[in-house]
Structure 1
Amino acid sequence: MGRLRHARTWFQRASLWQRLALMLVPALLIVTASELWLTRHDALGAANAAYDRSVLGALKAIDANISTASGGLSVELPYTMFEFFELTASGRVYFRVATSDGLVELGSADLPEPPFALAPGVPAFYDAEYFGEPVRFAAYRRALDLPTAKEDGARSVLVQVGESTKSRQDFTARFVRRAALRDSLVLAALMLATSLGLVAALRPLRRFAREVQARHPEDLTQIEEVAIPADIRPLVSAVNQHMARTKALVTQQRQFLDDASHQLRTHLTTLQMQADYAQREDDPKELKAALEAMRIEIGRVTRTTQQLLALGRSDTASLEFETVDLAELLREVALGLLPMARARHIDLGIAPLALHGPAVADAALLREALGNLVANALAYTPEHGKVTLAARDDEAARWQLSVEDNGPGMSEAELASIGQRFRRGRRAAQGGSGLGLAIAASIAQRHSGGLALGIVNKDGGGHTGLRACIWWPKGPMSTMTAIAPQEPMA
């Protein structure tokens, strides 16, 4: 197991060259070995066919010179043909002529018999050993018709011709050696061509790597895909998408740091001026007033810092989906901000709910978003005003949480920009940072939803209010973030 794991780790870390060599070289070797085996088989078959024709010719020549005209058996051996046959065979040649009754026996009487029964008049070939040497034999048996009445049964004659297989083996070996040399050259040429092709194919990838390495750390521009091969284009596209996301994140972080530093610098400058003023003041009443102003400013900077941290968390924190009881969530937020409502003599309440079951969301982030909406409404609604929390859902589409007040409201132009970071309404109370709605909008977007703002006209006259509604679509927890945002419901 340890060796297998080590081999798997090595293969995963290996370069493309090493992987291709590991996969292609054994395959090419197997193909070459198979081709050589087939070549040897074909060469041996071709040699046997050629040499067998020579053996068969000698066999037929002997058979043609067998005669029974004299009443016996006479054979005139074709010595000229045997001499030529021995020259072409490059080895020893053997023959035998024998009758079935044993009366006639010419040639080598101890030649191996055929290992199978011969069909009359049909030549057959077989391999055997003779004097420790492999020999290829041709055998032929036919009946003899003797003109003698005294014969009480038909006789047959057996003709055998054999030659050493040395010439066949030498021919096959020479053919296979030439084929092996040829295939080795072809294999080397294939490997060289494959290497050159791989170098040419990987050149765009190396150029792409050099281009990325040579870039400045802050250079996140898109990589041109025009001259990129189709196989590498998905990689380049993925890198471009990653750089686009990184660029958006860097831009968002830079904007966040710039805005946060601006807001905190304003508060700290105000505190420094108030501290300098208090240090120079001798009148106890004026000193007390300066300290009170410092206390208020510290409260503002504390809230701004908390909102900045909440905004950063809403942008980057991973979502933890769970079932959420929206009625209980509204109650928790209302109870938490009830002291602030009482201090400003504001009627803070919850409208009758229209829910069809528990919602699915990140409860902590949802509580943060709703808390900011309610805190904004309490801060901007005049004393003795009214703030109402509500929750509803339709059975198929989405959940909604809304906060409605009877404060100063906003104009249509202001509604188009409110919800962006550090953007506040013209009639907003002093001391706000414009982060509450931005936090709510960010959390809603993380849930694939959004923030909807609308003007509420209570009596058709000049008394207006504002309704802020965060919504997110219904769906399984595993696919919540994959749902595309839809238009908010009224």
Structure 2
Amino acid sequence: MSAPAAPAPATPAPAAPAAVADKRCRGTRSLRWRLTFVLIKSVLLAWFVWMGCQIWQLGREHTGFLDNSLREIAEQVLASMPEGLERLPSRDPKRVTVPVAADRKMSFQVWAQGRNVVYSAAAPLEPLKPDFRDGFARREIHGERWQVYSLTDRQRGLVVQVGRTKQMAIQELQGWILGSLLAAALILVVFGLAMWMVIGRSLRPLTTLRDTLRQRPPLDLTPLPSAELPNEFRPLVDAFNSQLERVDTAVQHERRFIADAAHELRTPLAVLSTHAELALRADTLEEKNAALLRLRAGVQRSARLSEQLLDLARLDAGEESVRLAPLDLSDLIVLVIRDFETLARERRQRITLRAEPTRLLGDVDQLGILLRNLIDNAVRHAGADGTIAVSCHADGDDAVALCVADNGPGVAVDDCQRIFDRFYRAPGSPDGGSGIGLSLVARIAQTHGARIECGEGLERGAEDPRGPGRGFEVRVVFPAAPVV
């Protein structure tokens, strides 16, 4: 019997390197790191440039800095000498002294009556400046190059000579450079920490904003607070808030569409189900045909309602992306009327058209929806044997008028404005209306900068079998297209 196979070793998760790479990428894109690094690098570069200039200036043989320092030291030494130096013994050439720390920077001699009476430990036995004349000089002493300065006090008969070897100058320069480097390093550390803290404190509102976003519910689209943000980030958050407002508007439109569709389709669907049940339970062919005719009418009403709801949703979704272009309204009217010829023939209705070539700026899809709803509304209200009149013409030099009139029962004056509200149906409206069509007309007219006027339509005389009536007319006035 063979032993069971050993389980295959688990392969490492491939996401770990990606996570490390993502963390490195975020680190390189950190605004805090980049600002601190750039500022420190800029300060360091400026300091190195300044340091190079100073070193170049101090390293010159004829630099005034070394000469001035020797002059100042000579003046200080001469001023500090007491009276009676001429009584001091001269320097013992056999006496060996150990140079102190000060002798590493410079050496001095004080001569009184030709004798070296005061001197620094490392000063040579011979005069630094043998001619004892005031001023600067450069000379070789025991194989070393010296820069010396001599100063005379003729009243007391004193001569002070101060000198510095080239090695002393180099050591002093090195000490100055080392001190400057240490000071610069300390300044850079303090500056870097200060910049890190200042930038972190400035970006703290962004961290608070991030935490606020993480704690929000998924559909919370309220604007983000921007009062505490730095001025550089406020435009970004304001633009994001503007986008949130647009998303919130789209979400509200979607919610409203779902609620409207659920409300408006619930009853028609229930009626369709009832008609289907009646058709299934009918005992005779006449009852079944009657139920099927009612079912067909219900399906037509539901289809029309669904189409209007979809048009409404399409308008809500694309209200900010309307594409206006020059078009001839009369051509569009002819195309739309053809879609209603069959329905009008079934109802024994007559549609008349009087259209002049009229150009305006409009969106073809939206104007098609507007025309279909106006004509559909007139066809439904005109009833059997009714008349619908459609016309378009220039209304002055800067406007185009579209008129759709019928000889139906008309609309009361008090309802003329309310019929353009969503889901409002005037009293006495025929069955099958949803109250959406004219609200779509109002929305599209507003999008195109048009105004809507209501009035009396095609009157019916007393001889009309439906009785007298004044009808109803909707007049939409569009701005005319500019002449190119």
Does the 8 A contact of 2:135 with 2:149 survive in 1?
yes
Which of 3, 17, 36 is 2:32 aligned to?
17
Does the 8 A contact of 2:410 with 2:469 survive in 1?
no
Match of 2:88 in 1: none
Does the 8 A contact of 1:55 with 1:162 survive in 2?
no
Q: Structure 1 residue 189: deviation in Å?
A: 0.9
Which of 28, 49, 52 is 2:43 aligned to?
28
Match of 1:205 in 2: 206
For 1:331 and 1:376, the matched residues in 2 are separated by: 17
- SS of residue paired to 1:324: strand
Match of 1:469 in 2: 476
Match of 2:388 in 1: 386
Deviates more, 1:361-370 or 1:278-287: 361-370
Match of 2:185 in 1: 184
Which of 348, 352, 366 is 1:349 aligned to?
352
Q: Structure 1 residue 256: deviation in Å?
A: 0.7
Match of 2:19 in 1: none
Structure 1 residues 338, 219: CA separation in 2 closer, same or farther (over 3 Å shift)? same
Match of 1:375 in 2: 376
For 1:380 and 1:459, the matched residues in 2 are separated by: 13
For 1:92 and 1:366, the matched residues in 2 are separated by: 113
Structure 1 residues 171, 399: CA separation in 2 closer, same or farther (over 3 Å shift)? farther
Deviations 1:125-157 (A, max 9, x none): 78x999986654789xxxxxxxxxxxxxxxxxx
Does the 8 A contact of 1:89 with 1:167 survive in 2?
no
In the alignment, residue 306 of structure 2 is paired with which amino acid?
T
2:436 paired with 1:429: no
- SS of residue paired to 2:340: helix
Which of 57, 65, 68 is 1:49 aligned to?
68
Q: Please give the residue correspondences for 1:100-249 in structure 2 after superposition, counting only pairs within 5 Å.
A: 136=147, 164-225=165-226, 227-228=228-229, 230-249=231-250
Q: Please give the residue correspondences for 1:312-351 in structure 2 after superposition, counting only pairs within 5 Å.
A: 312-317=313-318, 318-351=321-354
In the alignment, residue 442 of structure 1 is paired with which amino acid?
R
For 1:33 and 1:320, the matched residues in 2 are separated by: 61
Q: Between the two proteins, what is the percent identity of the paired residues?
A: 26
Q: How many corresponding residue pairs? A: 403
Deviations 1:198-250 (A, max 9, x none): 22111111111111110111323344455555554444433433333222222
- SS of residue paired to 2:404: strand
Structure 1 residues 273, 207: CA separation in 2 closer, same or farther (over 3 Å shift)? same
Structure 1 residues 370, 200: CA separation in 2 closer, same or farther (over 3 Å shift)? same
For the aligned residues, what is the CA RMSD? Answer: 4.2
For 1:125 and 1:321, the matched residues in 2 are separated by: 92
Does the 8 A contact of 1:315 with 1:442 survive in 2?
no
In the alignment, residue 47 of structure 1 is paired with which amino acid?
L
In the alignment, residue 326 of structure 2 is paired with which amino acid?
T
Structure 1 residues 402, 37: CA separation in 2 closer, same or farther (over 3 Å shift)? farther
Deviates more, 1:41-50 or 1:264-273: 41-50
Structure 2: runs of 5 or more not aligned:
1-23, 77-110, 151-161, 461-467
- Could you tell me the TM-score, scaled by structure 1's length? 0.68
Structure 1 residues 393, 466: CA separation in 2 closer, same or farther (over 3 Å shift)? closer
Does the 8 A contact of 1:346 with 1:387 survive in 2?
no
In the alignment, residue 467 of structure 1 is paired with which amino acid?
V
Structure 1 residues 412, 335: CA separation in 2 closer, same or farther (over 3 Å shift)? same
Q: Please give the residue correspondences for 1:357-372 in structure 2 after superposition, counting only pairs within 5 Å.
A: 358-372=359-373
Match of 2:107 in 1: none
2:251 paired with 1:250: yes
Structure 1 residues 399, 172: CA separation in 2 closer, same or farther (over 3 Å shift)? farther
For 1:11 and 1:211, the matched residues in 2 are separated by: 21
Q: Structure 1 residue 312: deviation in Å?
A: 1.9
Match of 2:267 in 1: 266
